[in-house]
Structure 1
Amino acid sequence: MSEIFETAIVEKRNVLNELRTTLHTTQELRLFSIYLSKINPYDKNTRIVRFPLSDFQRIMNFGKLNIAQLKASASSVLKSQVFLPKENGGFKGVNLFETFDVDQDGSGNWYVEINATNAALPLMFDFKDRYFKYELWNALRLKAPSQIRMYEILKQYETIGKREIEVKKLQELLGVNYTRWDRFKAKVLDSCQQALKETTDIYYTYERGKTGTGGKWLTIIFYISKNNDYVDQLSLFEFMEQSEEQSGAAKEPQLELFDTETEQNESTAFFSGACDDEFTATEIESLVTIVNTMELPPHEMGSVFAKYHFLLEQYTRFKAISERTTIKNRYSYFYTMIQSERDKQRGEQP
């Protein structure tokens, strides 16, 4: 059985829950929730959390593992930040994690170990009030970043039963940006409402709060209730087993080591991870062919990672666009985006 316990509780400070964060993907949000469930918030000595590599592989939904893929994941985790607002309108950026260690223990078993930064400790430890808690299984069944964040944003107010929030602030906390109300309502408010009702211990209804010119929604009033009609709760161990079946993750993962940058560059699976494995191997190879002709900002871990992060940034932008408008041929649209960036660099577009 996984070393991660089956029943886990997440205790999270309200202030941390209300901060804008750079955790964007479902996997990153799950990892952070699992990290919070593994620490003892009343003992800073538990700040270092170790996962068997096989567990980390399933959490992140990786297929075959390789060092390059893990380095890219480490880079993303170590760049996870929150932004603390200041009274004068400024802010303080805080990195959540300071180290990401991939190694073997004395028995030769691979593991991943992450450690919080000193600056982040007050956000995660030694709080006596103004916090909320939830059972981890609630976050494991949710399939989208906006669903996980909506659950946490509303769970914080469950005991009150009601929350009014500005539409602008809600979108910021959810990590989305919709200009059209009908799309925000359908793709976020209604979609999250259904997901939470089906799979978590709370459900909500909502109505218009304050309005602006032409009846524009400025705030939303949420009514939060305890949910007894969700599907059977999913333990973390069951989630790991389920993820193993879906991704084909090995119980004893074997790391594929790259000796040269050329070998890394030829790893289609590595670059596919930047695009959430949405496209076929042939499609990824076509995208990488274009990226290979571009001059990208240098990356501290080499040109391969510069290409990976370029694809990741473009794919993140692509997902934001797809949330606001219907895209019939997703690959063709994304390919055109990459091609357009190359043409801009060459001066072939105004």
Structure 2
Amino acid sequence: MAEKKEHVIEMSHRLNLMRSEKFCTNELKVLDKYMSRINPRDKSTRKVVFTLKEFQKDLGINDLRYKTLRTNVEALLGRCVFLPNSETGEFIAFQLFKEVELKKDSTKGWIVTLDCHDRAVDLFFDLAKDGYFSRKLKYSMRLNSANQIKFYMLMKEYEGVGKKKIRLTELIDWLKVNPNMPWKYFKRDVVDICQKALTELTDVTFTYECKRNGHAYEYITFFIKPNHHEQMMLDDYEDDENIQAEVLETEETVSEAYKYSNENLEFLAEACDNSFSEDEMQIIFSIIVKKIPSHKEWLERYDYLLLKYKELKYRISRTDLPPIKSKFNYFRFMLESDVKEE
């Protein structure tokens, strides 16, 4: 089989310092694909073209509704980065992307053009100012969470050094996880999961140690090295992607029968591929308002349901586990378990 072209991302150290609470997994993948297609030494390449189908897939959009695309585009354009200066206490914040254009091309069909914000041009194209590091697009596209992608960025940045010591509070802030999370849960649910994912799915791996200062952990040190024993080859990954795409197409066909009388309920149902009836969505809504009670946080509720529904689809795809008898009952159990944990 012919070797596939490996797209390389050249990322500035400044951009990797970005802090953002809002970037979800799929938006980070769009960012990575954007960086893999620009020439960071030529600012005229700042506009990157996606096919509509590709753009929707990268954003995790499983239906072709204009409203769904618009909602996701608005979210992407609203994502800001926060670049702090730890020495002076100063910071600057701005959007990474300023424009998404959807149009029909005479030869390519529907295409999406993505352009970075004028204020962000130096982050993408002035690599000499603060230096940069390289990584391969295919590895970040394999990862399943924003934390895993951010860990991959961090490990690749310091792979050449082989070691990175960082304050635990700084790492938690960078990942945007709950700052009050006890160390044992942060270790189990974040660090160890990311360590396993990077070892199995990427070209870098790490070990770590965390030392106490009194009763509290203060610093964590990562020991980083190249991973020469990937457990999942790219061809296998793409085969899995094709299988998942077939499953999604089947689910979308089935879900077309459901209609919703309430616009807000319809919006949330799109996060679940419209797979549940109106009565079932009412039950789902009654659960998630306990987790996200503010009536203004509809997008947060949407993102939460989108993430949980992806977890459900992954569970359904597991052939090594017993099949799920009721998709709705299992999903309700997942949501209720989240609420109980809080």
TM-score tier by shorter-chain length is: 0.7 to 0.9
- Give the RMSD, CA atoms, in angstroms: 3.7
**5+ residue gaps, structure 2:** 310-331
Structure 1 residue 312 corresponds to structure 2 residue 269 = no
Tell me which residue corresponds to 1:11: 10
Tell me which residue corresponds to 1:65: 64
Name the aligned partner's letter for residue 24 of structure 1: F
1:71: Cα distance to partner?
Answer: 0.7
1:244: Cα distance to partner?
Answer: 2.7
Structure 1 residue 139 corresponds to structure 2 residue 140 = yes
Tell me which residue corresponds to 2:170: 169
Among 321, 332, 336, the residue aligned to 2:336: 332
Structure holding more helix per residue: 2
Tell me which residue corresponds to 1:223: 223
Q: Is the 8 A contact 2:63 2:273 kept in 1?
A: no
1:208: Cα distance to partner?
Answer: 1.9
1:266: Cα distance to partner?
Answer: 7.8
1:141: Cα distance to partner?
Answer: 1.2
Alpha-carbon displacement from aligned partner over 1:224-255 (angstroms, at most 9, x marks no partner): 011111134437977864553353299xxxxx
Matches within 5 A, 1:129-208: 130-177=131-178, 178-208=180-210
CA gap of 1:330–1:289, structure 2 versus 1, over 3 A, is closer
Name the aligned partner's letter for residue 113 of structure 1: T
Residues matched between the structures, number: 301
Instruction: Report the TM-score when normalising by structure 1.
Output: 0.74
Identity over aligned pairs, percent: 29
For 2:10 and 2:250, locate their aligned partners in 1 and report how far apart those are by CA, in whole Å: 29
Q: Is the 8 A contact 2:11 2:127 kept in 1?
A: no
CA gap of 1:108–1:263, structure 2 versus 1, over 3 A, is farther
Tell me which residue corresponds to 1:271: 268
SS in 2 for 1:20: coil
CA gap of 1:223–1:84, structure 2 versus 1, over 3 A, is same
Alpha-carbon displacement from aligned partner over 1:114-136 (angstroms, at most 9, x marks no partner): 11010001111031252101011
Q: Is the 8 A contact 1:163 1:222 kept in 2?
A: yes
SS in 2 for 1:120: helix
Instruction: Report the TM-score when normalising by structure 2.
Output: 0.76
SS in 2 for 1:61: coil
1:158: Cα distance to partner?
Answer: 0.2
1:330: Cα distance to partner?
Answer: 3.4
For 1:92 and 1:249, locate their aligned partners in 2 and report how far apart those are by CA, in whole Å: 46
For 1:200 and 1:296, locate their aligned partners in 2 and report how far apart those are by CA, in whole Å: 40
Q: Is the 8 A contact 2:210 2:220 kept in 1?
A: yes
Q: Is the 8 A contact 2:99 2:116 kept in 1?
A: yes
For 1:334 and 1:161, locate their aligned partners in 2 and report how far apart those are by CA, in whole Å: 37
Name the aligned partner's letter for residue 130 of structure 1: G
**5+ residue gaps, structure 1:** 251-255, 257-261, 298-306, 320-327, 337-350
Name the aligned partner's letter for residue 125 of structure 2: F
